[in-house]
Structure 1
Amino acid sequence: MTVGGIIVARGRTSSGRPAGGPNGWRPISAYTAAVAVGILLLATSVLAGRADLALIGIPGLLAATWAYASRPTTPLRADLHEPSSPTTPGELTATLRLTAGPGDGADIVHLRITAPGHRTTHLTLAARTQDQDREVPLGLSSVRTGPQQTFTVDLRGSRHGTWEEEPTQVRAATRLVLPGAAPLGRLPLPRRLRGLTGPHSARRLGDGTELRDIHPFTPGDRLRRIDWRTTARRSPELETLYVRRTYSTAEATAVLVVDSRDEVGPDVRTWRGYGIIRVDEPTSLDLARHAAASVATALVEAGDRVGLEDLARRRRPLPPSAGRRHLRRLVHGLALAHPKDPASAHRVRPPQLPADAIVYLFTTLLDDDPLHLVRTWRTAGHPVVVIDTLPDVHPVIESHLAIAWQIGRLEREDRIAALDAEGIPVVRWAGSQRDQAAVRFEALAHAARRHVPGRTP
């Protein structure tokens, strides 16, 4: 059985008491039937004067007496042991540890293991193995990210086939699954860079590695910048010294804006909360988290500053920063992005962005709000790259849903065409087109570099 990750959780019933309370043992119906049949046969043998009936009923009473004398008193306890740190999607493991009494506890355990989006699994196994506590490995697998509901284990212990415990439940806490990152090459950068140092060459003069020109020595130039070969060629008498002038280095600032106001899957029937989204198919928010984590990783590894803004949350956004520690904060913030109440998700004003920052907007383009945001940012001078995170929609069978999706699809295509007409690139991040996203980003980065004034590709 497979699904996202789980946090370490103590075994608890739905009411909060430990699994298998001390007073939770009861005889099963076979035990009660054996006692009733034995008494009935003894009474019949006395009234009818038939000793053979007594011989038939006595073994049942003796077995019931032995079962009562060996009744269990130790409750069965269960614990779920999971990694406490967040994890990435994929095959995950957990361990269910069963603790039974050494001599007066359960000897057989019946388990029912469930997880959202998976088939229910039933197990019957021995409570102890070689006089040690039993450990049951559990596996979960899912492509979903973010907060995930995982294991729910219903268990019941039995002893000698005559005593059983009240059914109890062990529920795992919500697990935070972090998005992974795909390798990307060069990414589009803002037109103007900031700072006095960084991984990119700016358009202003300064200390750097990219040559701008050869210029006569002026007050303020450093002696180590003198180009003696050029000086010897142009001024053999050393009347004029020539220095090599370079472009200064700077860093880029990018802001990742995640549109987490809604979360839709490939099945249109689940868009209004009906049905369960399959765990082997990523939703739009899963794709947004993965795309944003990939872009953030590529930018941070290049030495740029990256910030994060969530359209569905009113909390303070993550300001732009750099470094591996900040990258972990970004990924953790992406995993926490999830839809809020639609009534409170509407923004009157667009998020405020740092000056000279490029915006990466991750959205499904299912409404007009992203277009208003993009146009507002473009008016303020921010370059914008839109990443389309709508999953590949499955064919719709129901006629009314097919008509609704056809209208929504046409409106969405009109929005994408409007963005393209305004010169705003839209990169598709779903299905087979996800592999082409890196090539598309590379082309956008090359085009942006080629059109920078005073620079050559």
Structure 2
Amino acid sequence: MARGGPAWRDGGLHDAAVVAGVVLLIAGLLFGRADVALLGVPALLATVLGRTRPPGERLTLAEEAAVGEAAGVIESTVQVRGGELVHARASAAGHRPTEFVARTAGEGGRSFRLRLASVRTGPQETAVVDVRAYEGVWEHDPLAVGGARRLVLPSSMRLGGVPVPRSLRGVTGPRVSRRFGDGNELRDVHPFQPGDRLRRIDWRATARRSPDLATLYVRRTFADAEAAVMLVVDSRDDVGPDVRTWRGYSEQRVDEATSLDLARHAAASVARALVEHGDRVGLIDMARESRPVPPATGRRHLRRVLHGLALAHPVGQPSARVRPPQVPGDTLVYLFSTVLDDAAAQLVRTWRSLGHQVVVVDTLPDVRPVTEPHLAIAWRIVRMERQMRLDRLAREGVPIVSWAGSGRLRSAASLEALARVAARKRDWR
């Protein structure tokens, strides 16, 4: 939105120019130096012309968001109109301020592109730009633009493969199912039966097995299908590497990813791997009571999932759910959680009792050492309780993958290994 400033005012250059011109004239007359006296004439003439010529249009600022949102980047364009020179200063939390001077004389003004790299995702504040304009001896009061909240989409990393459910759905897709139907995977060569399609006749096999064409043979294949996966993000809490910020009394650093940032990144990576393979993926936000994103595929749907991940944030105090989110019966569930309470473990057990396969992605960041004695004791108790939950889930056969910054590459390798194991179990031949 454009902002109009107040009227122009004398910036103090008039008095300085008059004093400089008078001093040069007097010095030239006293010392008999005509060249020195002539140096004061331009200053006096510029002062007179500047005072007689009124300033132009008021200074206006306008900020426009970038057309395409990039993952992990906040971009915007600032349009400046008014004045001959502007002195701008761009600042953002956690970043060094940047100052520059530019010429803006012209009918269209001048535009500046701002690009702010962000480790954090979700709703974030943009940079604030303070601008002061100058025109002759006139100076404009500083104006500010920016500081609005923008939605930063999560970035993703390329995964070689991710686990998918054993039971597939649909009559088409990139994977081979256990059902007979149209596909590319050969099952066997069988005598022609009522219901078989004529285009499935294998004439070579028929000529080899029945030269007199008494029996026709057809090629039977396995039907193609697709996998369906639900991404469940436990956004009830958002904690960072500093335990002192968990109480909510101090601000989290903008250059450190929180647990929700890790969850968004992990979920975006899994969603990207599934969509690129042609499978279906859905999204459930546990902190919001909105409808879940149903499983679908395609680039547009991936964009929708990324937008839903960016909107995930804590709402009120963390509370236990009365019933788990409803997911289709033939889907695999990815739960992205810090497992700081029993609610996440209870959800996993409920889903498994209903026959769902569940993969838990631990999104707690690497916690820095705690120096305060009382906080150190509290963190030790919370850490031990959390580890007991994870160990209990692991003994029950639940795959657990840690997505902390120190072991993210190992986490990707663990998902690929789980995908290979799941593929071997699904290969019934």
- The TM-score, its normalising length taken from structure 2, stands at 0.83
Q: Distance in 1 between matches of 2:406 and 2:239?
A: 19
2:407 maps to which residue?
Answer: 433
Q: Deviations over 1:62-117 (max 9, x none)?
A: 99998765664742222234414422214x554433322xxxxx555444432122
Please tell me whether residue 340 in structure 1 is matched to residue 323 in structure 2. no
In the alignment, the residues of structure 2 paired with residue 131 and residue 211 of structure 1 have an alpha-carbon distance, to the nearest angstrom, of 70
User: Aligned partners of 1:97 and 1:314: how far apart in 2?
Assistant: 40
Whole-angstrom CA distance in 2 between matches of 1:63 and 1:206? 89
Q: Is residue 307 of structure 1 aligned with residue 282 of structure 2?
A: yes
State which of 337, 348, 359 in structure 2 corresponds to 1:374.
348
Equivalent in the alignment of 1:80: 63
Match of 2:322, SS? coil
Greater CA drift, 110-119 or 323-332: 110-119
2:123 maps to 147
Q: Deviations over 1:382-439 (max 9, x none)?
A: 1111112222222223222222222222222212211211111111222242223332
Contact 1:146–1:178 (CA under 8 A) maintained in structure 2: yes
Q: 1:138 aligns with which of 114, 120, 126?
A: 114
Q: 1:166 to 1:203 in 2, by over 3 A?
A: same
Return the alpha-carbon distance in structure 1 between the equivalents of residues 48 and 219 of structure 2. Answer: 103
Q: Within 2, Cα distance between the matches of 1:236 and 1:134? A: 84
- Measured in 2, the distance between the counterparts of 1:236 and 1:26 equals 104
Partner in structure 2 of residue 445 of structure 1: 419
Does 1:383 find its partner at 2:366?
Answer: no
Establish whether residue 350 from structure 1 lines up as the match of residue 327 from structure 2: no
Deviation per residue, 1:189-243 (Å, 9 max, x gap): 2121111222111112222222223433332223333445555555555554443
Aligned-partner Cα distance in 1 for 2:47–2:206: 111
Deviates more, 1:274-283 or 1:441-450: 274-283
For residues 79 and 247 of structure 1, do their structure 2 counterparts lie closer, same or farther at Cα, with a shift above 3 Å needed? same
Q: What is the aligned partner in structure 2 of residue 455 from structure 1?
A: 428
Do the aligned residues in 2 keep the contact of 1:117 with 1:277 (CA within 8 Å)?
no
TM-score under structure 1 normalisation?
A: 0.78
Contact 2:85 2:105 in 1 (8 A): no
Aligned to 1:419: 393
One-letter amino acid of the structure 2 residue matched with residue 21 of structure 1: P
Q: Is the Cα–Cα contact under 8 Å of residues 84 and 134 in structure 2 kept in the other structure?
A: yes
Q: How many residues align?
A: 405
Taking a change above 3 Å as real, the CA distance of residues 27 and 237 of structure 1, as seen in their structure-2 partners, is: closer
Residues 298-324 of structure 1: CA distance to partner in whole angstroms, max 9, x if unpaired?
A: 112222121111111111111111222
Does residue 364 in structure 1 map to residue 341 in structure 2?
Answer: no
Query: Partner amino acid for 1:138?
Result: L
Q: Which amino acid aligns with 2:397?
A: G
Displacement of 1:252 in angstroms is 1.2
Report the CA distance shift for 1:243/1:134 in structure 2 as closer, same or farther (over 3 A): closer
Q: Which residue of 2 aligns with 1:399?
A: 373
What's the counterpart of residue 27 of structure 2? none
Q: 1:33 to 1:233 in 2, by over 3 A?
A: closer
Change (3 A) 1:297 1:137: closer
Equivalent position amino acid for 1:329 in 2? R
CA gap 1:97/1:232 in 2 versus in 1, 3 angstroms? closer
Which range moved further: 361-370 or 136-145?
136-145
- Unaligned runs of 5+ residues in structure 2 are 19-43
**From 91, 98, 106, the counterpart of 2:80:** 98
- Alpha-carbon distance between aligned partners in 2 of 1:245 and 1:158, rounded to the nearest angstrom: 81
2:270 to 288, 292, 295: 295
Deviations 1:246-304 (A, max 9, x none): 22221111111111112222222222334333333222222211211121121122221
CA distance in structure 2 between the aligned counterparts of 1:261 and 1:75, rounded to whole angstroms: 48
Residue 248 of structure 1 is matched in structure 2 by: 223
User: For 1:332 and 1:34, how far apart are their aligned partners in 2?
Assistant: 57
Q: Which amino acid aligns with 1:86?
A: E
Amino acid at match of 2:428: R
CA contact (8 A) 1:80 1:172 kept: no
Give the Cα–Cα distance (whole angstroms) in 2 for the partners of residues 312 and 322 of structure 1.
24
Q: Runs of 5+ in structure 1 lacking a partner?
A: 1-9, 13-17, 36-60, 101-105
Show the counterpart of 2:28: none
- The 3 A distance-change label for structure 1 pair 27 and 362 is same
